Amino acid sequence: MATSTPWWLLVFALQHCCFSNPGPPPPPSNLQCHRPCSGSHCLDIKCIWNPKPHLDTSTTYSLHWKKNAEDEKVNRSSSDGLIRRAQFESHAELLVWVQAKNQFGSVESEPVVIHTQNIIKPSPPQFQFGSRDPLEIFWNNSCENLQQSVEDCEVAYNTEEDRNQIQVSFANNCSLSSFFYELIIKLFAHFSQYEEELTSSFAHLDPQPNTVYEFQVRCKCDSSLFSDWSETFSIKSAESAPVGEVDAWWDCGPSSCFLNWKNLSNSQARGYILSYEVTVLYNNGTIQLMNVSTDDPSSLYIFDGMNWRLTSPLKDVSSVNISAYNALGATKASPLPMLTPDKQADFPNIDLEMNSENLTVSWNPPPNFSDQVKQYVVQYKDCGLGEFDWIKVNNHQTTGFFKGAFKNYTPYQVSLFVVSNLNEVRHLATARGYSSQRVPSVAPVFDRSEITGTEMTLFWKPVPSCNQSAMILYYQIGVSTQRVYNVSVTPDHEGMTYKLSDLSPGEEYQVWIRAVSKAGPSPKVTRTFRINPHEGYRMMSVYLVTILVVLLAVIICLCGCLLSFFRGVNKMWPLLPQCLNEKVPDPSNSKIFRQMRLKVNEPLTWICVPLHEPSPKISVLEVVAIKSKVFEPDGIRKENGFSQMDCQDDQKQDLGTENTDSTDSGFERKEYSKMVDSDEEKNDGWSSSEEEQSTSGYEKHFMPSALEIMVE
């Protein structure tokens, strides 16, 4: 049977397990004693020490002292760490220690020997006045009140821009310390002894012009301790002419550019800047001069305490020059060329590391690229509120650093530019960054654009980049619960489409979309789409019609090829059987024949002969009467089955058709024996052999020979 453990045993075990064993407290350490003075009076001795922390708060501390002599046995103590003036002599040595005691025992610190006169701590010095040119400060100390001389003084000073304190020890010539920056400063200090009072001074020989310096000083007298630091004394150094150049840059959008420049730092201004002079050089050669006063407000510019900006965009500008003026001079003009519109090619992307306080931009230029670079310019811009800043780095640097308060869930567009040795400005790369991201916004528009058969095209419009709270890595598109597709995107892609395939006509689909960022996916946006059941039949009809059209085109092509083949065989036509040459074309109906008649009558008409139908040599058929022994009953002779009257009629009919463009439809074909060149029909001296030799291929193909006429 299990028994419960008493609670007090648990507490006891917990104490012995989790806490150290009880015992005496740790011994006190770092015991220091001094006599603070007020004017000429130095009274009690005050001692301080460093007790070790202990869980037991019941430990008590007591201060003990006695004269540092062998025969002295008197041991005095106090609980407040003070040795009253009545309890020690003016010039004596004391042995001092501290005792710590609790219920488990007591311990003592290491004893310290002090001399009551050497532990005097004078009151802090008091500043009297200072001068600006040269920068020098003066103060009084209390060593004279103590009837002692000044042994050493230390000066600590800083500027408003650099709060790191710089200490100077007069005794050790100079001793500098700085946390972030190493400053080389020439120092000079001297002391002046006047009859009435002891006055010390310190001169800064090379101060920053027009800079506020804050001084503190402490001193020690003969064989005494250093006093506490004095109150702060502030003084501004004298002005001088400004140095350096004004840092200017362009803030360019899709259609306009605004000029910006940074306010000069105190180290560059070296005085109060009265105005900035802006010289604008336009492409047509004209020059415009603008004077921006730092005292008189104007609608021409905006100043946010750090940067200046012209409110009107500059167009058709080739370059600008800016100078800063104060009462003693001006900076040299800083030229700023206009941004070259074309983008630098083949440059790698830039990498961003960003949080709410810092932005680090890094890049890796191609080999030997830095040889052409004068400097890089890195800028960032909040496209929502227009927050804008830039820095310039040298050509050997590949990292830019910004320090500021970057808003959460806000896109910042970071761009890298280069200024070449020819003083040309080119854009290299752009990236978008977030100090922190969250789940992205859903697509405001999601629908289908068209449905074609079994395919459906989707489209959506993402949230504009300036309103996105995260970098969208990709989109997910899901079809019901079956398929999910990942669609990659680019940061500046404002419209997206995606095609779904292998869909079934007549079926209803639920399609959803969501954006995915580093912080996770956004909520789904779902739409329901139905595929038209007639889409399949319609597509089938379209496919069938397409196939039929293709087949018809193939058949037409084959027929054309066969026709071309038979035209080539026409040269062998007379050798074919007569039945294949039943019908012979009538040359009187030929377009070529009519055109050639015009050619004979009008010599210039050959210019208008179509190129697609070459002009052959046309001949006129001459029917030659052949004597026959056969006569008709009416006394007319028949030759080879034809009467002479028929031949005459045929000749008359042929001559009649030469003057007309119509064809006699009463005859299926016109038969003729041979052709005679119309241009040479007056030449009666030709022999039959010459005619046979001059017979063309056209005549051989289309005209029947005399023998064929006689046979018929």
> Tell me, what's the pLDDT at 176?
34
Higher pLDDT, 605 or 261: 261
> Is the pLDDT confidence value at 404 over 50?
yes
**Continuous H helices in 235-293:** 266-269
The pLDDT of 240-260, averaged and rounded, is 91
Give the best-scoring range by mean pLDDT among 22-31, 274-283, 529-538, 601-610. Answer: 274-283
Cα–Cα dist 611/597, whole Å: 17
pLDDT-derived band at 661 (thresholds 50, 70, 90) equals very low
> Tell me, what's the pLDDT at 57?
67
CB of 99 closer than 8 Å to CB of 110: no
Residues 6 or more apart in contact with residue 591 via CB below 8 angstroms: 613
> Is the pLDDT confidence value at 322 over 90?
yes
- Span 74-106, pLDDT tens digits: 667 777 888 888 888 888 888 999 988 888 888
Higher pLDDT, 645 or 176: 645
- Span 115-131, pLDDT tens digits: 988 888 988 998 988 88
Query: Across the chain, which distance is largest between two alpha carbons, in Å?
Result: 199
The pLDDT of 260-286, averaged and rounded, is 92
- Span 473-517, pLDDT tens digits: 889 888 876 788 888 876 555 568 888 888 887 788 888 889 898
pLDDT-derived band at 52 (thresholds 50, 70, 90) equals low
CB of 462 closer than 8 Å to CB of 496: yes
Residues 6 or more apart in contact with residue 432 via CB below 8 angstroms: 411, 412, 413, 414, 465, 471, 491
> Tell me, what's the pLDDT at 641?
44
Strand-pair partners of 526: 512
- Span 428-461, pLDDT tens digits: 999 999 999 999 887 777 887 767 767 888 888 8
Percentage of the chain lying above the pLDDT 90 cut: 23
The pLDDT of 3-16, averaged and rounded, is 50
> Tell me, what's the pLDDT at 20?
52
Q: What domains, with CATH codes, occur in the chain?
A: 29-115 (2.60.40.10), 122-236 (2.60.40.10), 248-337 (2.60.40.10), 340-433 (2.60.40.10), 445-532 (2.60.40.10), 578-711 (no CATH)
Higher pLDDT, 565 or 333: 333
The pLDDT of 177-184, averaged and rounded, is 33
- Span 131-170, pLDDT tens digits: 888 899 999 887 877 878 888 888 988 887 776 667 675 5
For the chain, the distance separating the N- and C-terminal CA atoms, rounded to the nearest angstrom, is 145
Give the best-scoring range by mean pLDDT among 60-69, 179-188, 287-296. Answer: 287-296
Q: From the CB of residue 550, how many other CB atoms can be counted at a distance below 10 Å? A: 10
Percentage of the chain lying above the pLDDT 70 cut: 66
Model pTM?
A: 0.56
